[in-house]
């Protein structure tokens, strides 16, 4: 910015000096022209008299115009007489012009008029303003004329000699008279300089801002792509793990079922058949979640809306997860404090929402599996379902991203928790499609509470 202001000031100084030089040239030419006009006016009456005398002389010398009147007029004689008289007239005119030029030159060298008289008729303020405007300098100025190092009466109203910045000599051709100086300054010079470089500075800052934004976007895109690559890799690894376990279990179970002892024992055989069904169901659930999210992205998921009881759906979801909870020696409680539990929505998707919340509570409760589900009425015409666990909990940072797709917490012991980061994302999408709301409240090492709220109608 300082460099731009310095450059602007340098250009201003150059333009002002050029403008003042043009003012000085115009004043010099104006005074010369004024002197010529004055001299020509003095000669005007003399010229008229001489012209009359020359004409009279022509007629006096013409043949046949004498007193005797005896001479005869001849065209040749008349022409010769005219030529002779006119030649004398023009010779006298040449002598007059030479005399005028010599007088003007002597007057230029020996001028003893005051500067007020010499600049009479010149609007100095307008002249300076027009020359500055020609250089695109449109800012207030103050000026003053100095003669014999003294400030004359020719000056602007608020002229301050202490603030003078620019000067030029006037009447430079008159080497015999004392030097006359025109001094000038701009009261609002700094303001004018800042205005002159404003667009340059604004453009510079704009370009810098564009560069910063471009750099930020580029870095952000790089980090985003890196994060997407990491998430993609984690998703593939998690999905592989999620499918690998049930596939291995099914494979082992089918091997056991081919044993003759098992075939002969219907009870053991049925046990292995149920195990295969459970693992197959587990894989199907993973595939269904991925397909449903894909449908949500493409806006192809169609809800089968109906009026149903949320309490009944919650009980069905608990029954669905009962075997898993019992296998972990866990405990689950259902409390109904809601005045109205009927809602309008897609029964199967709402059931999947509750199952996903229960599955999340089971996964993140490695030591104490104690789950409480409560239905209550937060406001009239609303019903909420809260799933509370005593698991490992979450930090505030994790809570902000817990509903992001593919996101999984990677601190503490959560590395060992199975999953692919799609469950809670699916839950949030379904709740939004039902014009509902989902909130999470959690404290590290103390557990989490997920609360989903729906309208009754």
Residue 305's Cβ-count burial label (10 Å; 0-12, 13-18, 19+) is exposed
pTM of the shown model: 0.47
Cα angle for residues 204, 209, 214 (degrees, 5° grid): 130
Residues 171-193 have a mean pLDDT of: 83
Q: What is the DSSP letter of 135?
A: T
Give whichever of 227-231, 356-360, 407-411 has the largest mean pLDDT.
356-360
The rounded distance, in Å, linking the Cα atoms of 386 and 432 is: 17
Residues 381-401 have a mean pLDDT of: 92
Give the bridge partners for 344, in sequence order: 307
Higher pLDDT, 305 or 423: 305
pLDDT at position 265, please? 86
Q: Which tokens is 290 given?
A: 């991925």
Phi, psi (degrees; rounded to nearest 5) at 21: -65, -40
Residues 273-291 have a mean pLDDT of: 80
- Domains of the chain, each with CATH number or no CATH: 2-191 (no CATH), 209-278 (no CATH), 302-455 (3.30.565.10)
| Contacts with 433 (C-beta within 8 Å, 6 or more apart), sequence order | 296, 301, 303, 349
Residues 324-342 have a mean pLDDT of: 91
| Contacts with 237 (C-beta within 8 Å, 6 or more apart), sequence order | none
The rounded distance, in Å, linking the Cα atoms of 250 and 321 is: 20
Residues 273-298 have a mean pLDDT of: 77
pLDDT at position 109, please? 47
Q: Please state, for a pLDDT cut of 70, what percent of the chain lies above it.
A: 76
Does residue 263 surpass a pLDDT of 50? yes
pLDDT at position 68, please? 45
Q: What is the pLDDT of residues 102-155, one digit of tens each?
A: 655 555 545 556 777 777 778 888 999 999 999 888 899 999 999 888 888 888
pLDDT-based confidence at 69, cuts 50/70/90? Answer: very low
The rounded distance, in Å, linking the Cα atoms of 322 and 328 is: 10
Does residue 173 surpass a pLDDT of 80? no
pLDDT at position 70, please? 44
Does residue 284 surpass a pLDDT of 50? yes
Residues 411-428 have a mean pLDDT of: 62
Count of CB atoms situated within 10 Å of the CB of 141: 19
pLDDT at position 99, please? 66
For the chain, report the end-to-end CA distance as a whole number of angstroms: 64
Of the candidates 318, 292, 314, the one whose C-alpha atom is nearest the C-alpha of residue 303 is 292
| Alpha helix segments (H runs only) across 264-309 | 266-297
Range name among 54-58, 139-143, 185-189, 236-240 with the lowest pLDDT average: 54-58
Q: In what order do the strands lie in the sheet with 331-337?
A: 331-337, 370-376, 382-388, 447-455, 437-443
Find out whether 365 and 324 touch, Cβ atoms under 8 Å.
no
Residue 417, SS3 per DSSP: coil
Does residue 365 surpass a pLDDT of 70? yes
Range name among 157-171, 237-251, 428-442 with the lowest pLDDT average: 237-251
CA atoms within 13 A on the CB side of 259: 12
The rounded distance, in Å, linking the Cα atoms of 310 and 434 is: 13
Which pairing describes strands 331-337 and 305-309: parallel, antiparallel, or unpaired? Answer: unpaired
Does residue 237 surpass a pLDDT of 60? yes
Q: What is the DSSP letter of 179?
A: P
Q: Which tokens is 47 given?
A: 């010229």
pLDDT at position 343, please? 95
Mean pLDDT, rounded, of the chain: 80
The percent of the chain in helix, strand and coil, each rounded to the nearest 5, is: 60, 15, 25
Does residue 216 surpass a pLDDT of 90? yes
The residue whose two tokens read 């999408």 is 429
Residues 391-420 have a mean pLDDT of: 70
Range name among 60-64, 147-151, 236-240 with the lowest pLDDT average: 60-64
């Amino acid at each position: 910015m300082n460099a731009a202001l310095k450059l602007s000031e340098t250009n201003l100084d150059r333009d002002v000096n050029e403008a003042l030089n043009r003012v000085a040239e115009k004043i010099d030419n104006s005074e010369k022209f004024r002197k010529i006009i004055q001299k020509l006016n003095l000669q005007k009456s003399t010229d008229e008299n001489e012209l009359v005398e020359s004409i009279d002389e022509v007629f006096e010398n013409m043949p046949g115009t004498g007193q005797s009147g005896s001479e005869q007029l001849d065209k040749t004689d008349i022409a010769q007489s005219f030529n002779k008289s006119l030649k004398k007239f023009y010779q006298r005119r040449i002598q007059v012009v030479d005399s005028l030029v010599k007088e003007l030159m002597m007057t230029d060298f020996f001028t003893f008029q005051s500067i007020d008289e010499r600049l009479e008729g010149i609007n100095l303020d307008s002249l300076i303003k027009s020359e500055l405007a020609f250089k695109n300098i449109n800012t207030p100025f103050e000026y003053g004329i100095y003669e014999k190092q003294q400030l004359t009466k020719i000056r602007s109203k608020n002229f301050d000699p202490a603030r003078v910045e620019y000067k030029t000599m006037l009447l430079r051709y008159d080497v015999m008279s004392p030097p006359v100086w025109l001094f000038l300054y701009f009261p609002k010079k700094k303001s004018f300089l800042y205005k002159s470089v404003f667009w340059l500075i604004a453009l510079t800052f704009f370009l810098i801002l564009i560069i910063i934004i471009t750099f930020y976007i580029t870095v952000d895109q790089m980090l985003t792509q890196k994060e997407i690559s990491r998430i993609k890799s984690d998703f593939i690894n998690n999905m592989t793990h999620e499918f690998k376990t049930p596939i291995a279990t099914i494979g082992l179970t089918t091997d056991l079922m081919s044993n003759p002892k098992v075939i002969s024992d219907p009870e053991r055989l049925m046990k292995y058949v149920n195990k295969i069904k459970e693992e197959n169901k587990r894989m199907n659930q993973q595939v269904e979640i991925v397909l449903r999210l894909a449908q949500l992205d493409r806006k192809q998921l169609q809800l089968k809306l109906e009026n149903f009881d949320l309490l009944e759906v919650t009980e069905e979801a608990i029954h669905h997860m009962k075997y898993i909870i019992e296998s972990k020696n866990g405990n689950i409680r259902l409390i109904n404090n809601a005045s109205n539990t009927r809602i309008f929505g897609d029964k199967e998707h709402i059931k999947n929402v509750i199952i996903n919340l229960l599955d999340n509570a089971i996964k993140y409760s490695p030591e104490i599996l104690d789950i409480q589900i409560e239905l209550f009425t937060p406001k009239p015409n609303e019903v909420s379902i809260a799933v509370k666990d005593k698991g490992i909990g979450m930090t505030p940072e994790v809570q902000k991203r817990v509903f992001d797709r593919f996101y999984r917490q990677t601190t503490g012991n959560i590395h060992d928790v199975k999953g692919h980061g799609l469950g809670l994302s699916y839950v949030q999408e379904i709740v939004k499609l039902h014009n509902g709301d989902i909130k999470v409240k959690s404290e590290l090492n103390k557990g989490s509470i997920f609360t989903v709220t729906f309208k009754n109608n």
